[in-house]
Amino acid sequence: MSDETPSVEEIKARLKVEIPVDEETIKAEEKKADVVEEMKGLGRQFAETLQSAWNSEERQKIEAEIREGLQSFVGEVDKVIREARESDVATKVKTEAVEVKSRVESAEWSQKARTGFVQGLQWLSEELGKLAEQFTPKEKQPPADSSAEESAE
């Protein structure tokens, strides 16, 4: 038995029966099968090409160069950062920052700002408490009018 599909004419000849067949439908189905097979072939070829490219010596060399370049880059950046930390300018900036911090902490306006901040937090806390009370259900109490009427009788 062959792998090829027999044509309509071959089937007619084997059966020796006249079968009405729409030739356009058959041609469309054959073209559809051809397109599917070609797409499968293209997919296989594409996958093989990608696999070959990935496994190629050239790709491996490029990867090694990129890794080496990144390691050099990281090393240079690390070196510059270490040198900057140890430089006289960095030391001077640190010293000045500590002095400015001390002056700010000891200044009168810093105390006023701190007091104002605390007062603002207290106000916010009170307002949030009021808001929370609005959402808290109140307990039901008997109406005041009915108890007054009962005591009058």
From first CA to last CA, the distance across the chain in angstroms is 114
pTM above 0.75, yes or no: no
126 and 120 in contact (C-beta within 8 Å)? Answer: no
The domain spans of the chain are 88-120
CB atoms closer than 10 angstroms to residue 12: 14
81 and 75 in contact (C-beta within 8 Å)? Answer: no
Q: Which of 71, 68, 75 is CA-nearest to residue 83?
A: 75
Residue 9 token pair: 């004419």
- pLDDT, one tens digit per residue, over 122-152 is 998 998 888 888 877 776 655 555 555 555 5
- pLDDT, one tens digit per residue, over 77-128 is 999 888 888 888 878 888 888 888 777 777 777 678 788 889 989 998 998 8
